[in-house]
Amino acid sequence: MSKPSWVKELAGKRIKKLFNEAEEQFPEHPERSRRYIEIAHKISEKYNIPISKDLKRKFCPNCYSYWVPGETVKVRIDSENSRVIYICNECGGERTYGYSEEKLGKNNQ
């Protein structure tokens, strides 16, 4: 029994909205941001809606902390392996992305 497409569409919109709210609330209420992201994550699981790549970089998959480079997350460039590593300042969780995903550096090869 799959859910009707409009339900998924609505849930998708809600996820985006929650991320927007998380971004807005972060400077003054980072704990609210975390809550919003947690809710967004639950909606995504419940309705089987993948969170977009862009949004996935904005939170910690372990503790749902909203990621702001230099504040709540460290971003390291591992040029040897063409990777970018995100390290959560809250829980120490790591997430790694390839350069190609990042759309960084277009090398002329």
Q: What residues make contact with Zn ion under the rule CB under 5 A?
A: 60, 62-63, 65, 88, 90-91, 93
Pairing of strands 94-98, 73-78: unpaired
- 87 or 104: CB nearest Zn ion: 87
Q: Looking at beta carbons only, is 62 or 79 nearer to Zn ion?
A: 62
Q: Specify the residue, 90 or 102, whose C-beta has the smaller distance to Zn ion.
A: 90
Rounded Cα distance, 34 and 22, in Å: 7
49 and 83 in contact (C-beta within 8 Å)? no
**Contact at 8 Å (CB) between 102 and 90?**
no
* Min dist. Cβ of residue 41 to Zn ion (A): 13
Least separation, in Å, of the C-beta of 78 and Zn ion?
A: 19
